Chain A
Amino acid sequence: MSEQIKVKMRGENVCVHYGEKQALFDVNLDIGTNQVTSLIGPSGCGKSTFLRCLNRMNDTIDICRVTGDLTLDGQNIYDRAIDVVELRARVGMVFQKPNPFPKSIYENVAYGPRIHGLTRDKTEMDEVVENSLKRAGIWEEVKDRLDQPGTGLSGGQQQRLCIARAIATKPEVLLMDEPCSALDPIATAIIEELIDELRENFTIAIVTHSMQQAARVSQKTAFFHLGKLIEEGDTEEIFTNPQNKKTQDYITGRIG
């Protein structure tokens, strides 16, 4: 790392197999504290797979096997001593398709803090919900209808609700798996702005298909191709002066 940025999460020699098929080959990548790191690359390059290793979402796939070291604040997250539920409370996730629970807007946000016992009473919970919705930039739109179902919102609003839900548990790291791919440009712009604001308090890793988005929101960029990490570095560096030919081909639109 060029500047003095503390490493929040680190992957060393990460390999992932889906059954016989290897999806990731010896990936070494650091996620810096309070930075936005974007993972780019063509479809099927393993960027989402890597992201899902960071909060062990791959555990839910029976045939998936992860080797190598993945650490959060220096602690191996695949260690037996780590409770995966606590890990996911510390490393939140926003998914490609907005997926609010079919419950009220309030319940969507309150669910995480409630199951982790983060609040003592109703007033405190109300505060957490309000703050989370405010941080996610959707409070003004929903404050009068918190009891209505989250599924009744528009796509962009749903995604911001999902972000509010993810940050309600006050995670240290926020993983975003193509959070804007199902949204229109206006909703995308709102979310990108939001990502930039969230950086103050959270470490963010975002998978994106849009190179413009990576350039706009991230400080660091990692380029994946065919399961290998080809190049990583400061976003500006990667987009203006890529060292690897494949990276150059991809960002100029020749492969992908």
Chain B
Amino acid sequence: MSDASMTTQHALQGQAAERRRRARHAADTRLRLYGIGAITLAIGLLGILIFTIILGGHTAFTQTHVRVQFPLTAESYNAEEPARSNWRGVIDDAMAEIFPDAVEGGNLRTRTQILTNNTQFFVRDAVLAGDYEVGDTVTLEVPASDPYDQLNKGVIKRDTPEENRRLDNDEVAAFDSLVENGQVSRPFNWGLFFNADSRFPEIAGLSGAIVGSFYALMVCFLISFPVGIMAATYLEEFAPKNRLTDLIEVNINNLAAVPSIVFGLLGLAVFLQIFGLPRSAPLVGGMVLSLMTLPTIIIATRAALKAVPPSIREAALGVGASKHQVITHHVLPLALPGILTGTIIGLAQALGETAPLLLIGMNAFITSPPGGIFDASTALPTQIYIWADSPERGFVARTSAGILVLLGFLITMNAIAIFLRQRLERRW
């Protein structure tokens, strides 16, 4: 720079300077407004999404129950061998007591349908669990069947013309008389969490899906966590820098971008067809999900290893630690929060993954939770998929409720990841 240009003062006052300053400030403000706008839009859309899901799903968190006294008459109840009793008869007797005119009118059958189809099993279980004799009565809170549940929740509207309504005026009146007698209640729907799937929405729940997802995630974790950490450690700490490792690195990054359904096809072709593993099993689901989680864990682990300051490695090498001691005593423990965060985020992704599970048959109709990783089962996202496909009104709300439960798990997992990052991360 010449002396002349150094000594000449820039004009920071005057009109031109003022214009420049104003333009600069305006540009700053615009940029900030764009940012605020984008965030508002994103939060707004998310809010609308969650609001509609809650609006659609909140009714599934309660369930209409009807309190019924079941008389154990000599005709229906077999006191000698209670298991061989005529439970349908017991229900008919109970409903006949509540609706005496129905017996004459010949529509007792319609009245028993106020209660869920599985009422006979509830009655059987309650009676077998206790010590009852002929002439006793058993009082139970029984879930109402889906149409009456929907009527009670206002989903089926009374002002709809009778011919378009799922329940006719007679059925509505019968239910209303139960309400008047104070026999109808609407407690929290624990069945949503503790029942397995069912054809009847009123007793369908997520327990099978939750347990299935848990097993699948456990398998996924047990495979992808150790393999991912070891692969990342090798690539980061030991692998020579050459074409081969470059190729591997590029392909791991590519793997993270492969559509999940492709992994499902791979699982179908390899795990089911070639290895002959059981269909619909959480074992296979977990294996397929681990293929998807691996790249996420490898990438996160490598980033965490890279973030360990070289001075710590030098310090350890300087006192004569061997390579493996440097890695196991210092580098890996320091990288652990980052690794765990990446792993949990990877698992959260896996929890929400549907497509690969559909291809290996984890969307089957299964009415009991799996007893192990080899039993056929569904998972949370596939259960939602199944319910979304079902025609009964009750499944509409349950689909949304399932989404809310899934979101709840995802938010919890991400919160744990954030907590770990905040809590365990060391600063230098």
A contact residues vs B (CB 8 Å cutoff):
55, 57, 60, 62, 85-89, 92-95, 97, 99-102, 111-112, 115-116, 151, 162, 165-166, 168-169
Complexed CA–CA distance, A115 and B329 (Å) = 10
Complexed CA–CA distance, A115 and B330 (Å) = 13
Contact yes or no, B428 A102, CB < 8 A: yes
For A55, give its contact among B240, B312, B318 (CB under 8 Å): B318
Contact yes or no, A151 B428, CB < 8 A: yes
Contact yes or no, A88 B311, CB < 8 A: no
| Chain A residues within an 8 Å CB radius of B334 | 102
**B316 contacts partner chain A, Cβ-Cβ < 8 Å:** yes
Contact yes or no, B314 A89, CB < 8 A: no
**B139 contacts partner chain A, Cβ-Cβ < 8 Å:** no
Which of B97-105, B197-205, B319-327, B372-380 interfaces with chain A?
B319-327
Of the A-B pairs whose beta carbons lie under 8 Å apart in the complex, a sample of 29, sorted by A's number, is: A60-B313, A60-B317, A88-B317, A88-B318, A89-B320, A92-B320, A93-B314, A93-B318, A94-B318, A95-B315, A97-B311, A99-B311, A99-B314, A99-B315, A101-B312, A101-B316, A102-B334, A111-B316, A111-B319, A111-B321, A112-B320, A115-B322, A115-B329, A116-B320, A151-B426, A151-B428, A165-B315, A166-B318, A169-B319
CB distance from B336 to the nearest CB of A (A): 12
Contact yes or no, B315 A162, CB < 8 A: yes
| Chain B residues within an 8 Å CB radius of A60 | 313-314, 317
| Chain A residues within an 8 Å CB radius of B325 | 115
Contact yes or no, A99 B317, CB < 8 A: no
For A86, give its contact among B320, B329, B428 (CB under 8 Å): B320
Complexed CA–CA distance, A86 and B321 (Å) = 9
Contact mask for chain B residues 166-182; partner A; CB cutoff 8 A; 1 contact, 0 none: 00000000000000000
Complexed CA–CA distance, A180 and B320 (Å) = 22
**Shortest 5 CB-CB distances between A and B: which pairs?**
A89-B320, A112-B319, A99-B311, A88-B320, A93-B318
Contact yes or no, B319 A89, CB < 8 A: yes
Known: A102-B334, A102-B428, A115-B325. A57 touches B320 (CB 8 A): no
CB distance from B324 to the nearest CB of A (A): 10
Q: Which residue of B lies closest to A162 (CB)?
A: B315
Complexed CA–CA distance, A89 and B311 (Å) = 18
Contact yes or no, B321 A85, CB < 8 A: yes
Q: Of B241, B320, B426, which is in contact with the most chain A CB atoms at under 10 Å from its CB?
A: B320
Contact yes or no, B319 A57, CB < 8 A: no
Count B interface residues, CB 8 Å: 21
Contact mask for chain B residues 214-252; partner A; CB cutoff 8 A; 1 contact, 0 none: 000000000000000000000000001100000000000
| Chain B residues within an 8 Å CB radius of A55 | 318
CB distance from B105 to the nearest CB of A (A): 82
Contact yes or no, B241 A92, CB < 8 A: no
Contact yes or no, B319 A92, CB < 8 A: yes
Contact yes or no, B315 A100, CB < 8 A: yes
Contact yes or no, B321 A57, CB < 8 A: no
| Chain B residues within an 8 Å CB radius of A93 | 314, 318
Complexed CA–CA distance, A162 and B311 (Å) = 12
Per DSSP, chain B at the interface is helix
Contact yes or no, A165 B319, CB < 8 A: yes
| Chain B residues within an 8 Å CB radius of A151 | 426, 428
Total CB contacts across the A-B interface at under 8 A: 68
| Chain B residues within an 8 Å CB radius of A89 | 319-320
CB distance from A104 to the nearest CB of B (A): 13
Contact yes or no, B312 A85, CB < 8 A: no
Contact mask for chain B residues 331-359; partner A; CB cutoff 8 A; 1 contact, 0 none: 00010000000000000000000000000
Contact mask for chain B residues 39-72; partner A; CB cutoff 8 A; 1 contact, 0 none: 0000000000000000000000000000000000
CB distance from A95 to the nearest CB of B (A): 6
Contact yes or no, B315 A101, CB < 8 A: yes
Q: Which residue of B lies closest to A87 (CB)?
A: B320
| Chain A residues within an 8 Å CB radius of B311 | 95, 97, 99
Q: Of A92, A99, A100, which is in contact with the most chain B CB atoms at under 10 Å from its CB?
A: A99
For B320, give its contact among A94, A101, A102, A169 (CB under 8 Å): A169
Known: A57-B314, A99-B314, A101-B330. A166 touches B428 (CB 8 A): no
Complexed CA–CA distance, A168 and B319 (Å) = 9
CB distance from A129 to the nearest CB of B (A): 13
Complexed CA–CA distance, A168 and B315 (Å) = 13
| Chain A residues within an 8 Å CB radius of B315 | 95, 99-101, 162, 165
CB distance from A169 to the nearest CB of B (A): 6
CB distance from B103 to the nearest CB of A (A): 81
Contact yes or no, B426 A92, CB < 8 A: no
Q: Of B240, B312, B317, B322, which is in contact with the most chain A CB atoms at under 10 Å from its CB?
A: B317
Within 8 A of A (CB), among B294-316: 309, 311-316
Complexed CA–CA distance, A97 and B314 (Å) = 11
For A57, give its contact among B240, B241, B318 (CB under 8 Å): B318
Known: A99-B311, A102-B334, A151-B428. A92 touches B321 (CB 8 A): no
CB distance from A57 to the nearest CB of B (A): 7
Known A100-B315, A101-B312, A165-B319; 15 more pairs at CB < 8 Å: A60-B317, A85-B321, A88-B318, A95-B315, A95-B318, A99-B309, A101-B316, A112-B319, A115-B319, A115-B320, A115-B325, A116-B320, A151-B428, A162-B315, A166-B319
Complexed CA–CA distance, A97 and B284 (Å) = 51
Complexed CA–CA distance, A93 and B317 (Å) = 9
Complexed CA–CA distance, A89 and B319 (Å) = 6
Complexed CA–CA distance, A87 and B318 (Å) = 10
| Chain B residues within an 8 Å CB radius of A115 | 319-322, 325, 329
CB distance from A216 to the nearest CB of B (A): 24
| Chain B residues within an 8 Å CB radius of A97 | 311
Complexed CA–CA distance, A55 and B318 (Å) = 8
CB distance from A166 to the nearest CB of B (A): 7
Complexed CA–CA distance, A57 and B316 (Å) = 11
| Chain A residues within an 8 Å CB radius of B241 | 62
Known: A62-B241, A151-B428. A99 touches B312 (CB 8 A): yes
CB distance from A28 to the nearest CB of B (A): 25
Complexed CA–CA distance, A62 and B238 (Å) = 11
Complexed CA–CA distance, A100 and B309 (Å) = 12
